[in-house]
Structure 1
Amino acid sequence: MKRVYSSGPLFCPEEIAGMASIAEVLEKAGFDTFLPHRDGLERFVMPLVNTPVNNNFLGVRDIINKAIFALDVFQIVHLCDGFVLNMNGRVPDEGAVAEAGIAFAAGKPVVLYKNDSRSVFKGIDNSMITGLSVLKPVSHIRKLPQALIKAEHMMESMNPSGMQCVSANVERAVRTGEKIWNVIRVLPLRNIHKKETQDLVKKILDICDQLPDED
Structure 2
Amino acid sequence: MRGDTVILFARAPRLGTVKRRLAREVGAMAALRFHRAQLRRLLRLLGRDRRWRCELAMTPDRARWPTGLARAVPMRPQGRGDLGQRMGRALARHRRAVLVGCDIPQLGPADIAAAFRALGRARAVFGPAEDGGYWLVGFGPRRPPAPFAAVRWSSEHALADTLRNCAGHPVALLRRLRDVDDAAGLRALGRASGADPVQVDTLERTKML
TM-score, structure 2 length as denominator? 0.35
Is the radius of gyration larger for structure 1 or structure 2?
Answer: 1
**Higher share in helix:** 1
TM-score of the aligned structures, taking structure 1 as reference length: 0.35
Whose strand fraction is larger, Structure 1's or Structure 2's? 2
1 or 2 for the larger relative contact order (CA 8 Å, sep ≥6)?
Answer: 1
